Amino acid sequence: MDATSQRIVVLAGCAAVLAASGAWGQDWPQWRGPNRDAKVSAFAVPPTWPKELTRRWTVTVGLGDATPALVGERLYVFARQGDEEVALCLRAEDGKELWRDKHPAPRVTGGPAQHAGPRSSPTVVDGKVVTLGVAGVLSCLDAGTGNVLWTRDEFPGAWPRFYAAMSPIVVEGLCIAHLGKEGAGAIMAYDLGTGDLKWKWSDAGPTYSSPVLMMLDDVQTLVVHAETDLVGIAVADGKLLWKAATPLRQRFYSSTTPIVDGQTVIYTGQGTGTKAVKIEKKGEDYAVTEVWSNEDIGGGYNTPVLKNGLLFGISDPDNNIYCLSARDGQTLWTDTVRYGRFGTVIDVGPVLLALPVSELLVIAPSDKAYTELARYKIAQEQVYAYPVVAGSRIYVKDKETLTLWTVE
């Protein structure tokens, strides 16, 4: 083969790799996507939205509300089958099972019993999968084989009223989870490789909120909505850096994830509206100042997505899709259609995708009015997990099955 032919073969190979990468798109390795902000940069938005989505496959995986993780060509699912919680690895192309791990789990009883499976989404980092079961059992598995590397059960028999729901975060080689129950819990940081405890902060029990990261000057900071406070904790050593009081209203613990916008943190709660606080260095400490408060629009079970200075979400208690200004908290518009109290909204670039019940809505991200571009029926009942979006693919986990839809 001459030099010209070799060059053609190499270029063709590179083109094939790039094409495959574009087809598969971006990973979704944890709760709310790559950066825990419900943003996807590699979705293939079509020039014209089709009349219907194409269903490629459906697999029964088990009960649960946990959003799957997508890394490369593998899906990681956490669900309940019978009396066990099961971690599954599926081939993303066709849903074929590659491995599974299972462990006994207590039955969900009382009011929460209609949600029998895990609420916490798996986190996949550095070839490892982290799961948190309904009873607060934290596990780390090898992503390639499913072998259990370590487990921790720091508060045996203790979990929140509606069971453990926060999704663990991995940062700087630390696996961090808020464990225990109301009034008796701690934020625990473990070495991802060994499971050794590195630090803990134990002033408050967990809610149903998941942590996010922010940078304060050069300090990597974990933002956590605990029982009665929003707190900022140094990732390196667990030191409390700042705290903002978030009093309970009718024992409604937070079920939404804080949103970080530079030095501002936006948070919502059941019955408490939406608020923004700014974190600033004052001397040796950090001060927390309220920037704005919108008492009328909140997201009891939905975390809004921040896009171009706007917040898009599903309101509580009116259950409408809404748009707020992230600068001053003013309500810019609310749609007139009432949905259920649960749902998700993600930013996929030129458009938003909302999944308020069982239909996927394609929405123009405008500050003027609600503009719907397309609507697709993708389930027969309420979907609680986020749709996992990559390339032209949309993975949807409903009550018991996982389905791959494609946009063609």
Tens-place pLDDT, residues 73-116: 999 999 999 999 999 999 999 999 999 999 999 999 999 999 99
Please name the amino acid found at residue 87.
A
pLDDT for 8 equals: 33
Tens-place pLDDT, residues 182-196: 889 999 999 999 999
Rounded mean pLDDT, 275-283: 95
pLDDT for 94 equals: 98
φ/ψ bin of 353: left (φ > 0), alpha (ψ from -120 to 50), beta (otherwise): beta
Tens-place pLDDT, residues 121-168: 999 999 999 999 999 999 999 999 999 999 999 999 999 999 999 999
Q: In which band, very low, low, confident or very high, does the pLDDT at 298 lie, cut at 50, 70 and 90? A: confident
d(CA 225, CA 216): 17
Angstrom distances, CA of residue 108 to CA of 83, 161, 401? 10, 10, 19
The answer to whether residues 117 and 65 touch, using CB atoms and an 8 Å cutoff, is yes
**Count of CA atoms in the C-beta half-sphere (13 A) of 137:** 21
Tens-place pLDDT, residues 363-380: 999 999 999 999 999 999
* Distance from the first to the final alpha carbon of the chain: 39
Rounded mean pLDDT, 382-398: 97
The answer to whether residues 27 and 71 touch, using CB atoms and an 8 Å cutoff, is yes
363: which DSSP letter? Answer: E
Query: Strand, helix or coil at 269?
Result: strand
Residue 391 pLDDT > 60: yes
Tens-place pLDDT, residues 333-362: 999 999 988 899 999 999 999 999 999 999
pLDDT for 253 equals: 80
Tens-place pLDDT, residues 241-277: 999 998 877 666 889 999 999 999 999 876 678 999 9
d(CA 390, CA 93): 12
pLDDT for 17 equals: 32
pLDDT for 4 equals: 37
pLDDT for 248 equals: 76
pTM of the model as a whole = 0.92
Rounded mean pLDDT, 237-243: 97
Tens-place pLDDT, residues 8-51: 333 333 333 333 333 446 899 999 999 999 999 889 999 999 99
Q: Would you list the domain boundaries of the chain? A: 211-254+256-300
pLDDT for 250 equals: 63
Q: Which CATH number fits domain 211-254+256-300: 2.60.40, 3.40.50, 2.40.10, 3.30.160?
A: 2.40.10
pLDDT for 254 equals: 87
Look over the chain and give the mean of its residue pLDDT values, rounded to a whole number.
92
d(CA 408, CA 393): 9
pLDDT for 9 equals: 34
Distance from the Cα of residue 352 to its chain's centroid: 16
